[in-house]
Each structure stands twice: as C-alpha cells, then as structure tokens.
DNA sequence: GTACATTTCAAACAGGTGTTTAAAAGTATG
DNA sequence: CATACTTTTAAACACCTGTTTGAAATGTAC
C-alpha cells in the first residue's frame, strides 16, 4: 500500500522538476523513470499516460492554490466599492509563495510548469485548467472589470492574455533571466522578487487608457 | 540553377507555415517535404540540418525587418530630447506590417514564428537573434532607458522581458485568441489590431512607477 | 499457508525522428 | 558529345518515443 503511493510520489517529484526544467515535450518517460528510480512501465500503470501524468503534476499544485485564490476573490468581491487593481493582483502573492511549504522550491516549480503548460502544449492543459477552475478564474476577471470601468470587456480580455503572456514567458525562462540579471546588474533575484516586480508592471498595463485609434492611422 | 532556388523556396514556404502553426518541435521534416513536394533529403542537402532550416526561415524576415528598425532607432536617437515611449513602440508598426509585402500573411507568420522561437526552443534561436541583431536591439533598449529616466537599468531589463513575453505569447497563440474574441465579443481581430492594442498596454507597463521595495523583506 | 489482488519488471512493440548514403537524373561547360 | 558538377531520389540508418505485454515478485486477507 505505501509502496504504491511511494512510487507515484517518486514519479511526480521526478517529473515535475524535469518538466519545469526542459518542458513537457522535451522530457521523456525514460528520463523521468530513471530519475525516479522506478520501472518505465509504472508511469502508464499508475497514471495511464504521459498526458495524464502532466495533468497530475499540475493538479498537485492547483488543488492547493486555486481554493485559496477563490477564497481571496470572494473576499474582494464582497466589498462594496471596486478594488484597486494592484490590490487584486497582490492577492496572488501569498498563496503562490505558500506553495514553498508544499514542496521545496514549490512556487518556482509551479510557475515554471504553468509557463510550460501554456507554451509547450497546444490545447489539453489550457482546457484542463479552464474545466476545473474556470469558475475561480471568472471571479478574477470580474474583479478586474469592476476595477477598470473605463475598459470594454473585450479590452480586458486581451489585456489579461497579454498579462498571462508576461507571467508565463517570464517563468518559463526565469532561470536564464535571473542568470543574466546576476551577470549584468549583479542582482540576485528570486522568484518572489520577480512576482513583486510584475505587480506594478501589470497593474499599470491592465489599467492603461485606451487610445483613440483614429490618431494613429499609418500609411 | 533556377531549380535549386525553387526547391529552397518551396521548402522555406512550406516550413514557415507549418512552423508558425504547430511550432518547431512538433513539425517534422517529413511534413515539410511532403507539403513542399520535394524529397526528404533535400532539406539536409540545401540547409544542412533542421536547426539551420529554422534559422533560415526566420532570417528571411529578420534581414528585411531589422535594418528598417535599426534605421528608425537611429532617427529617434538623433533627436535631442528623450522620446515618448509610445512613439518608440510605434516605430515597430510599419516595418512589421510591411512584412505583408514580403509574403502573404507575412506579419502574422513572422510574429508567430518569433513566438515559437522564444517558447519552443531553449537556446539556439535566442542566441542567433542576439548574435546577428544585438546592436540594433541595444539601440532600442537605450531609447527606452532614455524615455524612462526614473527607472533603474535592471528594472528596464525586467520590464522589456515581461513585454517580450506578452508579445511572443500572444502571437504564438494569436489564432486561438482571435477565435475566442470572435466568439465571445463578436469582434474580428487581425494581427494589426493586436499590435495596436499592445502599444498602449506596453507603454503604460514599461513606464510604470516602481513601488518602494522595502516592504519585500523575504522570510 | 494458501488464494487472491496489486505492483514491479524486462522485453518487445509499432511508429516516428533527423540524418546519411550511393546511385540516378539533370545541367552546365569545355 | 563527353566531362564534371549539381541536384534529386529511394532506401536505409541509428536512435528515440509512448505504450503494451505477460510473467515474476510482492503484499494482503482469510
């Protein structure tokens, strides 16, 4: 009995770090099972397929993170007046950083995985997250819309995807970026530093005024 | 003689559309040569390897785009007073849209390829672009720094990478996003629309004030 | 302690990958 | 025309991928 969960755990642990480092496509089951020191076939035995393993790896974080975010969103939605955008974005910080208690380097790993999830794979992870946590995400969108009454819904849609791009891309390549920052600016940056840098950036971006289109008609 | 360039052209054309659609890793040489109606071996014969084919596909656009951007950057740098950030970002618009004269759907394809280039592959395309066009990119960074004297260099570095993330991610998934926008908001969005939406967003983001750091003492 | 169920294991499977080979076809040049 | 060079072709190469198989080992319950 305990050997079963041990094997599953070993696979998940090995998989998550390899996935975070090299992406889903570029990590083979053989690499995972070698690192986990389990038999190749055990991935399919315990998880069914590689696709389901990927989902299981992300699920381990999402099932902790998302209920906490959902709770925070409810709290903000309960207040009468619209919330400040920076405030809304800041509610992500603590739940994200608390993932470090779930796993060593949990925050970093999860965000890297999320990045990989949106860039590597075409559809199935996007669908998976939306299917399981769409309700929570909708609350977030609503909050942002309330805080930006000057923006049409479609503009909020685009800007949130622009923002998702920043996050996901930054996290997928956070190792490389941190290295450059270290070399060029002698600046030690951890994942918390990146998150905190993102908040004012995204806050200003999402709330930016929409410029009228007619003054920039180019030839 | 002309059959040689014809074959190379056919390969490049087929490769670019498949790469843009499915990414580099998920497009095989057999798919490319089938679509191009050439022999499988001709890719290696004419380009050496898949890696070099990828670079050749991007190079076809970069060698047109980058000199034009370089020129625009020089023009802005020549002016005495610092330039407005929105102005700086706007110089991308025309050179990018002119790629449509190079190829049908050129702008869209190029930006998708760029997105794939930064998300799919780990290193070699990043290196390739920096190696060939680093001087031009440096001019852009300088312009941004001049327009944002309140920002430390390292902050500009991070924010430009956040911005790169928005662009690259949006472009890599632009088809999916445009579909959603169409369905949810009955909004037809072409690539030019996306570019124009990005400018005020990125302008506000990059120039955003830096919030005081002292509240971020880590545990 | 036997019977049953779960888990592990080595091996093979079927299919895909980028690349190389050596002969064939085509094309210029003397 | 014959020579030399370039390009195309079909086939094979060596390797890697996720998945399946059936037997062996282990664990669990009566």
Residue B187 neighbours by CB under 8 Å, 6+ apart: A154, B181
Question: Taking the C1' atom of C9, which residue's CA lies nearest?
Answer: A39
Helix (H) or strand (E) holding A126: helix A124-147
Q: Is residue A33 part of a domain?
A: no
- Distances A179 to A104, A189, B120 between C-alpha atoms, Å: 20, 9, 20
Q: Is residue A178 part of a domain?
A: yes
**Mean pLDDT, range A137-165, rounded to an integer:** 95
Q: Is residue B41 part of a domain?
A: no
Assigned token pair, B188: 């037809």
DSSP conformational letter for A28: -
- The least confident of A62-76, A96-110, B36-50, B111-125 is B111-125
In this predicted structure, what is the pLDDT of residue A45?
97
In this predicted structure, what is the pLDDT of residue A4?
63
Say if the Cβ atoms of B210 and A200 lie within 8 Å: yes
Assigned token pair, B55: 């670079």
In this predicted structure, what is the pLDDT of residue A113?
92
Q: Is residue A49 part of a domain?
A: no
- Distances A160 to A171, A176, B18 between C-alpha atoms, Å: 16, 25, 28
Is the pLDDT score of A26 beyond 80?
yes
In this predicted structure, what is the pLDDT of residue A27?
95
In this predicted structure, what is the pLDDT of residue B120?
72
Q: What is the CATH number of the domain that holds A205?
A: 1.10.357.10
In this predicted structure, what is the pLDDT of residue B1?
46
Q: Is residue B18 part of a domain?
A: no
> Which residues in chain B come in under a pLDDT of 50?
1, 214-219
Strand D atom within 7 Å of A33 CB: no
Rounded, the Å distance between the CA of B34 and C1' of D9 is 14
- Identify the residue whose tokens are 């809304």: A88
Q: Round to whole Å and give the CA distance between A18 and A6.
A: 18
In this predicted structure, what is the pLDDT of residue B215?
46
Q: Is residue A215 part of a domain?
A: no
Helix (H) or strand (E) holding A121: none
Interface of B with A in 173-212 (CB under 8 A): 173, 177, 180-181, 184-185, 187, 194, 196-211
**Mean pLDDT, range A36-47, rounded to an integer:** 97
Is the pLDDT score of A217 beyond 50?
no
Q: Is residue B161 part of a domain?
A: yes
**Mean pLDDT, range A51-58, rounded to an integer:** 96
In this predicted structure, what is the pLDDT of residue A213?
54
Domain interval for residue A118? 58-209
Rounded, the Å distance between the CA of A192 and C1' of C14 is 47
With 0-12 CB in 10 A as exposed, 13-18 as middle and 19+ as buried, what is B87? middle
pLDDT in tens, B56-82: 999 999 999 999 999 999 999 999 888
Question: Taking the C1' atom of C17, which residue's CA lies nearest?
Answer: B28
Question: Per DSSP, which regions of chain B are E strands?
Answer: none
How many domains would you assign to chain A?
1
Q: Is residue A22 part of a domain?
A: no
In this predicted structure, what is the pLDDT of residue A121?
66
Selected residue with higher pLDDT from B120 and A89: A89
Helix (H, G, I), strand (E, B) or coil at A123: coil
Q: How far is CA A151 from the centre of its chain?
A: 25
Q: Round to whole Å and give the CA distance between B29 and B52.
A: 12
């Amino acid at each position: 009995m305990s050997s079963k969960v041990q094997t599953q755990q070993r696979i998940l642990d090995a998989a998550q770090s390899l996935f975070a480092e090299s992406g889903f496509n570029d990590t083979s089951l053989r690499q995972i099972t070698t690192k986990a020191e389990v038999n190749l076939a055990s991935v399919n035995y315990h998880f069914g397929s590689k696709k389901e393993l990927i989902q299981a790896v992300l699920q381990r974080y999402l099932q902790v993170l998302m209920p906490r975010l959902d709770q925070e969103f409810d709290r903000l939605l309960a207040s009468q007046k619209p919330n400040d955008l920076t405030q809304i974005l800041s509610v992500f910080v603590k739940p994200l950083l608390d993932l470090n208690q779930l796993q060593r380097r949990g925050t970093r790993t999860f965000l890297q995985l999320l990045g990989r999830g949106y860039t590597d794979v075409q559809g199935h992870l996007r669908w998976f997250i939306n299917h399981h946590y769409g309700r929570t995400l909708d609350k977030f969108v609503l909050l942002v819309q309330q805080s930006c009454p000057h923006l049409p819904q479609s503009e909020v849609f685009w800007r949130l995807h622009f923002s998702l791009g920043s996050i996901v891309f930054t996290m997928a390549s956070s190792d490389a970026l941190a290295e450059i920052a270290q070399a060029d600016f002698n600046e030690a940056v951890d994942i918390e530093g990146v998150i905190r840098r993102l908040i004012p950036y995204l806050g200003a971006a999402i709330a930016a005024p929409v410029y009228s289109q007619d003054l920039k008609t180019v030839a």
